[in-house]
Amino acid sequence: MPQLNGGGGDDLGANDEMISFKDEGEQEEKISENLSAERDLADVKSSLVNESETNQNSSSDSEAERRPPPRSETFRDKTRESLEEAAKRQDGGLFKSPPYPGYPFIMIPDLTSPYLPNGSLSPTARTYLQMKWPLLDVNHGSLQSRQALKDARSPSPAHIVGPFCLEFPGQSDLSLHQFQLSNKVPVVQHPHHVHPLTPLITYSNEHFTPGNPPPHLQGDVDPKTGIPRPPQHPDISPYYPLSPGSVGQLPHPLGWLVPQQGQPVYPITTGGFRHPYPTALTVNASMQSFLSSRFPHHMVPPHHSLHQTGIPHPAIVTPNVKQESSHSDIGLNSSKHQDSKKEDEKKKQPHIKKPLNAFMLYMKEMRAKVVAECTLKESAAINQILGRRWHALTREEQAKYYELARKERQLHMQLYPGWSARDNYAGNQQGKKKKRKRDKQPGEGNDLSAPKKCRARFGLDQQNNWCGPCRRKKKCIRYIQGEGSCASPPSSDGSLLDSPPSSPSSVAPSPSSKESKPQTEQMQPLSLTMKPAHQPLHHPHLLAGHPPPPSLVLLENSAAAAGKMPGAAHNGAHDHGNVSSSRQPGSSGASLARPSAASLCHSHSLHPNSTAPQPLSLVTKSIE
């Protein structure tokens, strides 16, 4: 169980989320109460991380003596133990609230990795599915076309099948690759290219597995438990050298896939982050080139045709075949364009993507579910919903994702010690276009958040023109209202998600809708920053005994609601202002023109008067 008051941590905790509590307070005691909740929330999120770290440390302490690098110790050991336990009782015991959502899981090559856009395959671009082994399904009968699965849109990736049985030490990458290409579809992956970690998350909790699994999964769902029935494959276990003695010395996160040769796979580093690449890692030709270009020569391990495992990390993405073919043309034109040649070489460098954070993992998990519940297909709208659901999660649920994310980062760090997020910045990247820089345009973003607008506009000489808040050195209201700017855009604040307007006019960026915004904006003076305040104020697990806000409840039960609760009592104001996103101030207005998530997701049609004047509770003290 998480140590809720583990406190101390300040890392993963989204401090900005604490701010929203202040916005919501309408009384001092309320504020103090919320502040307490803020601290609780901060502690919660911190504890999510600390807990993970603590758990890892504590669990690895016992093994630290015999396993020098503790980083992946628990990861593998827990995996091994869980696998062994599961092997003993193939009764789905792993489905019974495993202490760690990420455990046990194994990594298997996913040739149609989510990290491979368009399913492009290359010997160096394979990624791996991490999954609980009871979910392994290597039955041929389960092999389906990728498209078939995609059409199925399974939110519960209980059946992930792949050719991983073919992809183990000693197996030729090329042969497998050819196998894939020649057979077109023998590989089945989870629909929507679910993240490798997704299978771990799906089933372990009720919120992961809605009551009614998709129809296409019915056949594989245990009628008793409602849980996807783990496939029974007698050939699975031999692939995993899970016996304690066999993996004891190898901290490699893929240790069960690494042939045991009696020597450590990972060099014991001295703690420096940019330590040499482990020689045991996959270093193929392209990787070699990539490493050579990015790291000092001594850091680049010698090139072996294939790694023992031939397993790169899911985050690695190499250029597609098209680029390789273009590279072959270089020989024909070698004399004329060295620059282009260099570019091609750079293009061949695999793109190691960032490890997914907790929310990203959650999104991958829940996206399909949201899509199924709503008529939405637009990711932007779905992400808004997911963002709110994320905050509605319990700490335990979030902890799972934080844990998974931490494991992901750990694994990523181990696989790519020299990798830095900076490497993926547009400026350093060839194959990727530089993303637009969100230039702050005048009249939005910081301009709106800047205090004392009246002061700036009228100056000290015309204080009589200042609005009241400005006179009291509070945040200017007149400026916002006068400019008609949408400092707290409806789309970004999520109000349209949880409490969508009943009339289209409230959705459209009409002047009236903008006029209603200042009240939301008025909530912000109490904010310490302009960062989005997404934290649900009355998180059921943050405020013990307090029921979750209707918005959250209804949102969580969006499927059940299905738009049939138009008159539900709902103080949408709870979320409206707090979810206002100033991350991308200029982007929210555009979203107004788009179909709102709420208009498409019935479950969020809760508050017909969301644009109506907000309750007084929204008025901040500055207004008073």
Partner DNA sequence: TTCCCTTTGAAGTAC
Partner DNA sequence: GTACTTCAAAGGGAA
Tokens for 187, please give them.
Answer: 């590989």
- In angstroms, the Cα distances linking 172 to 120, 162, 258, 550 are 18, 16, 14, 55
The per-residue DSSP string of 431-477 comes to SSPPPPP-PPPTTSTHHHH-S-HHHHHH-GGGGGGS-HHHHTT---S
Output the CA torsion sign for 190, 196, 198, 201: positive
Classified as helix, coil or strand, 327 is helix
- In angstroms, the Cα distances linking 572 to 101, 364, 383, 390, 505 are 33, 27, 19, 17, 18
485 vs 500: CA distance, rounded Å: 20
C-beta closer to DNA: residue 80 or 347: 347
C-beta closer to DNA: residue 391 or 455: 391
Taking the complex as a whole, the smallest distance from the CB of residue 8 to DNA amounts, in Å, to: 14
Taking the complex as a whole, the smallest distance from the CB of residue 287 to DNA amounts, in Å, to: 16
User: Closest by alpha carbon to 364, among 526, 162, 175, 155?
Assistant: 155
Taking the complex as a whole, the smallest distance from the CB of residue 493 to DNA amounts, in Å, to: 7
Beta strand ranges found along 445-598 (DSSP E)? none
* CA quadruple 231, 237, 240, 241: dihedral, nearest 10: 160
C-beta closer to DNA: residue 307 or 351: 351
C-beta closer to DNA: residue 302 or 427: 427
Taking the complex as a whole, the smallest distance from the CB of residue 527 to DNA amounts, in Å, to: 11
Contact yes or no for 591/494 (Cβ under 8 A): no
Beta strand ranges found along 319-433 (DSSP E)? 351-352
Taking the complex as a whole, the smallest distance from the CB of residue 447 to DNA amounts, in Å, to: 11
C-beta closer to DNA: residue 432 or 472: 432
Taking the complex as a whole, the smallest distance from the CB of residue 401 to DNA amounts, in Å, to: 8
C-beta closer to DNA: residue 191 or 550: 191
C-beta closer to DNA: residue 168 or 402: 402
Is 42 exposed, middle or buried (CB count within 10 Å of its CB: 0-12, 13-18, 19+)? buried
Taking the complex as a whole, the smallest distance from the CB of residue 13 to DNA amounts, in Å, to: 7
Contacts of 100 (CB under 8 A, 6+ apart): 55, 78, 400, 403
C-beta closer to DNA: residue 258 or 521: 521
440 vs 421: CA distance, rounded Å: 24
Give the Cα-Cα-Cα angle 83, 61, 243 (nearest 5 degrees): 30
Taking the complex as a whole, the smallest distance from the CB of residue 379 to DNA amounts, in Å, to: 3
Distance of CA 248 to the CA centre of its chain: 31
C-beta closer to DNA: residue 367 or 607: 367
Taking the complex as a whole, the smallest distance from the CB of residue 310 to DNA amounts, in Å, to: 21
Taking the complex as a whole, the smallest distance from the CB of residue 600 to DNA amounts, in Å, to: 10
C-beta closer to DNA: residue 79 or 591: 591
C-beta closer to DNA: residue 80 or 541: 541
Classified as helix, coil or strand, 264 is coil
- In angstroms, the Cα distances linking 66 to 241, 245, 253, 596 are 18, 11, 16, 56
User: Closest by alpha carbon to 77, among 223, 207, 252?
Assistant: 252
Taking the complex as a whole, the smallest distance from the CB of residue 263 to DNA amounts, in Å, to: 29
